[in-house]
Amino acid sequence: MSTQGGNHLDVGEATVEAGALRAAMVDELLELGAIRSPTVAHSFRRVPRHLFAPGATLRAAYTATGTVVPLRDERDRLVSTVSAPHIQAMMLEQAGVTAGLRVLEIGSGGYNAALLAELVGETGLVTTVDIDPEVVARTRRCLDAAGYQRVDAVLADADDGVPGSAPYDLVIVTAAAWTIPQAWTNQLAPGGRLVVPLRLRGLTRSVVFESDGGRLVSRDYQTCSFVPFRGVGAPPEQVILLGGEDAVIRLEEPPSGDVEQIRQAATWPRIAAWSGLSSGEAFDDLQLWLALGLNDFGLLMARQAAVDRGVVTHAWPLGIPTALGKGSFAYLALSPKTVEQASREFGVYAHGPEAEILAAEFVARIRSWRGTGHRARIEAFPAGTPNAVLPAGGVVLDRRDRRLVVSWPDDVKLPG
């Protein structure tokens, strides 16, 4: 934005260091492929990220894959973060933001709103909304300090959008959403886009939706991780502790089996079963395939301490796909690394009295995956849409406001 170009940074040595670190961050984002367009690269070069990360060191503020955590609640859970630059760049590229657009950002922090302000320019509009007064106040302070007074920061439950500035050409959501409130699409201009990190049985995918005959249809999706929504849009969650808080299974729906028996299954010997499918396949899409085809699906969230204690064999930052059975659980694994093998094999570790049965079902689902090139189609229909109208063969996830349907191309049939 031409009126904001002269005085973004602190003076003195901090200015020089911040500028050098920012340039290096942009170079890394280009190398990672997170930034793909000159306009997004320009916006990242313009906005002083460190001014939106109070308390963080300059180096931490400009780490391309690093998240800054400015706010936790009384239980030490993440409430607000300044998302990692590579995730923000990915979503901005997904959104295709151009000059003159009217944009609503749902979930505030300030930095992403400033990037959007650079992209829409003087002729565009950016409104950012959050439910937390502390977050909104910090957002306003940071935007003002960085010279982005034109961005409007609103305190409200984002479930209702911000009707006062509607319609919007783009609604971009920066918190993990379990559903898509009707207000978000009601406030979209004709031909507008919605970019939302959507929770699908615990997995989060940044989905680009466009309206098509009363439904929303995905045009792209990418793996991501965001702080979940609060307020009426908060996702449901069931947590099963496996002998301590360093290893838990998180589910969006209550399990059909007995929770205490599942908890005790962690003390049973571990069995392994292997699929023959190489880890060179599209891993992110495989996770979605598992989530929508296994009963009682959840994510095993483990810390290294749980691995060290032998409760689980490994820990992945975004969680390990897990299936529950009768007093048993099974989770996705990779075969041990060897010098001879360039790739590893997908398999399952399972515990409990039904471990072998559960592992066999899990492995069968892995083997049914056809691999690279098959992307899911995600559609969102209004709540109450009859089953006869929904796409045949898809997995239906009923949510408040929406019926989500996830399906695969015709040449990939869902088992059963």
Catalytic residue positions, numbered: 83
Both tokens of 310, joined, read 């032998």
Transcribe 86-149 into DSSP letters. HHHHHHHHHHT--TT-EEEEES--SHHHHHHHHHH-TTSEEEEEES-HHHHHHHHHHHHHHT-T
Residues 294 and 321: their CA atoms lie apart, in Å, by: 10
State residue 165 phi and psi, 5-degree precision: -110, 0
Inter-residue contact 120 to 103 (CB < 8 Å):
yes
88: nearest Cα among 187, 173, 27: 173
Residues 182 and 382: their CA atoms lie apart, in Å, by: 8
Both tokens of 114, joined, read 């400033």
Inter-residue contact 200 to 404 (CB < 8 Å):
yes
Transcribe 69-101 into DSSP letters. EEEE-TTS-EEEEE--HHHHHHHHHHHT--TT-
How far is C-alpha 227 from the chain's CA centre?
Answer: 8
Other beta carbons less than 10 A from residue 325's beta carbon: 26
Instruction: Answer left, alpha or beta for residue 2, where phi above 0 means left and psi between -120 and 50 means alpha.
Output: alpha
What radius of gyration do the chain's Cα atoms show?
22
The 3-state DSSP class for residue 129 equals strand
How far is C-alpha 237 from the chain's CA centre?
Answer: 16
Question: Which contiguous run of DSSP H or E holds residue 268?
Answer: none
Residues 272 and 279: their CA atoms lie apart, in Å, by: 16
Question: Which contiguous run of DSSP H or E holds residue 26?
Answer: helix 13-32
